[in-house]
Amino acid sequence: MAALTLALLVGLWWGSASAQEGERVFQRCYACHSFDPAERGLSGPTLRGIFGRRAGALDGFDYSQPLREAGRHGLVWSAETLDRFLEDPEALVEGVRMGGVRLRDATERRALIRWLQNAAK
Amino acid sequence: MYTAWLVPLTLVLAAATAAAQVTVQEYPLPSGLRVHDVWADSAPDGPVWFSAQRSGQLGRLDPRTGKVDLIPLGPDSAPHGVILDADGSPWLTDGGQNAIVRVDPKTKAVAKWALPQTRGYVNLNTAVFDRSGIHWFTGQNGVYGRLDPRTGDLKVFDAPKGRGPYGIHATPEGVVYYASLAGSHIARIDAATNQATVVEPPTPGQGARRVWSDSKGVVWVSEWNSGQLSRYDPRTGEWRQWKAPGARPRVYAVYVDETDKVWVSEWTGQVMLRFDPTTEKFEAFKSSSGTADVRQIHGRKGEVWTPESAPDKLVVYRYR
């Protein structure tokens, strides 16, 4: 019983720490992305509902041609595709406009994506 | 340090709407750098420095030979802007390292001034030196700041309307202005108090991306969302705007040359535009790149330099 309680506490602590870390890492995205679809003046599209969305397909956003093409060829945002994209956007979609921005640390990417899975709902 | 020699390409192009000839010379860079900003040494034929955002390097082009040197800035580096100080040393706003970075042009030694950890990640964007040698910078997450290179004193301030601070420039009198892309305004910094005062352009939601002062202290603004070039005269408070040619233009960068002609990069048509404030006409110029994605412009007497981030090239437009 004590072991189970300890495991639950560790799990809760880890989940909380991971969420905090994800929110911290999101500061790298914050200048260009928000979760408010009504916020139109940013350089990047809203992240609301990103999971399961085809790349380059959000109505009303002026995507670069390579990202639209990638979406037409089947790129859909998931935890796995986002992880690859954030590590090196150019490696997944050559010519994408945010190609210079990389999140090289795998632990940071994992934390960000876990956090996004809640924040982007 | 990495060195490459790549063959430059020279084109002679006539402006689409004017008799004046402009010579265009292209310098290919090693692929995959994602060149972002450029800064030309003021000496004729002097080196041209550039930030390589994806590879985390500072680049130096010798335009006489096409030789390119690449200087690594650190494992997490992703530099956005590059400028030169009065001694010809390059300074970078390094978003990846959340630090201001200086490189010694002779020894290639890299010095860093990290932003305070209490500020977190600020997404460093662009910088400029004022007349007294203070290095002013912007952070897109909603900050601007100053670094005194003589003492290392670094201060960060909250931008008055939050996220968005992007391009920054100083007038000949030394007054610093920055543009806020997400905030759709420009702001004037009072160096004595470090206060930034918002100056609202008349077009709502215009997406002011970069600013550049002309020789008289008039501030020119590239507007990404509205596709306009706009002009703010601090002496009268008057604004004027000109829509860039073409359907749904997107104006990214602005630079004013030594004759007070205004150059902008337009992304829908992927052209460089030169605006004559006297005739109020645009002339269009293109390199051989289909998609250039010019994110910043700089120059020196008789030359305007552009970093083409899509094909990884530096392109110079020479004029008389």
Q: What is the pLDDT of residues A22-50, one digit of tens each?
A: 999 999 999 999 999 988 788 999 999 99
3-class secondary structure, B182: coil
Residue B280: in which H helix or E strand, if any? Answer: none
Residue A72: in which H helix or E strand, if any? Answer: helix A65-72
Of B53, B250, B291, the CB nearest to A100: B53
Q: At B11, is the pLDDT very low, low, confident or very high (cuts 50, 70, 90)?
A: low
- Chain B closest-CA separation from residue A41 CA (Å): 6
A22: which chain B residues are within 8 Å (Cβ-Cβ)?
none
Averaged pLDDT score across all residues of chain B: 95
* Chain B: residues touching A (Cβ < 8 Å): 32, 34, 36, 53-54, 75-76, 78, 95-96, 120-121, 123, 140-141, 163-164, 181-184, 205, 207, 224-225, 250, 291, 293, 309-310
Q: At B14, is the pLDDT very low, low, confident or very high (cuts 50, 70, 90)?
A: very low
* Chain A: residues touching B (Cβ < 8 Å): 24, 27-28, 30-32, 40-43, 62, 65, 88, 90, 95, 97, 99-102, 104
Query: Could B96 and A99 be called an inter-chain contact, meaning their C-beta atoms sit closer than 8 Å?
Result: no
B14: which strand partners? Answer: B21
Of B54, B96, B225, the CB nearest to A41: B225
Query: Could A101 and B95 be called an inter-chain contact, meaning their C-beta atoms sit closer than 8 Å?
Result: yes
Q: What percent of chain B has pLDDT over 90?
A: 93
3-class secondary structure, B41: coil
Token readout for B63 is 């335009």
Query: Could A31 and B182 be called an inter-chain contact, meaning their C-beta atoms sit closer than 8 Å?
Result: yes
Measured CA to CA in angstroms, residue B80 lies from B103, B230, B320 at distances of 15, 24, 31
Distance CA B303, CA B42 (A): 10
Asked whether the predicted pLDDT for residue B95 surpasses 80, the reply is: yes
Give the number of other CB atoms < 10 A from CB of residue B298.
Answer: 23
Q: Quick one: pLDDT at residue A18?
A: 74
Distance CA B312, CA B30 (A): 7
Residue B182's contacts (CB-CB under 8 Å, 6 or more residues apart) are A31, A41, A42, A43, B140, B162, B163, B164
B176: which strand partners? Answer: B170, B189
pLDDT (tens digit per residue) in B27-81: 999 999 999 999 999 999 999 999 999 999 999 999 999 999 999 999 999 999 9
Mutant choice from B57, B181, B313 vs A, greatest count of A C-beta within 10 A: B181
Query: Could A24 and B120 be called an inter-chain contact, meaning their C-beta atoms sit closer than 8 Å?
Result: yes
3-class secondary structure, B204: coil
pLDDT (tens digit per residue) in B188-234: 999 999 999 999 999 999 999 999 999 999 999 999 999 999 999 99
Q: Quick one: pLDDT at residue A6?
A: 54
Nearest C-alpha in B relative to A65: B291
Mutant choice from B73, B225, B289, B296 vs A, greatest count of A C-beta within 10 A: B225
List the beta strands (DSSP E) in B118-250. Answer: 124-129, 135-139, 143-148, 153-158, 165-170, 176-180, 185-190, 195-199, 208-213, 219-223, 228-233, 238-243
Report the candidate in A56, A91, A98, A88 with the shortest Cα–Cα distance to residue A73: A56
pTM, two decimals, is 0.92
B207: which chain A residues are within 8 Å (Cβ-Cβ)?
41
pLDDT (tens digit per residue) in A61-80: 989 999 999 999 999 999 99
In the A/B pair of chains, how many CB contacts fall below 8 A?
A: 56
> Which ipTM did the prediction report?
0.85
Higher-confidence position of B9 and B42: B42
Query: Could B36 and A62 be called an inter-chain contact, meaning their C-beta atoms sit closer than 8 Å?
Result: no
- Chain A closest-CA separation from residue B153 CA (Å): 24
Span B237-242, mean pLDDT?
98
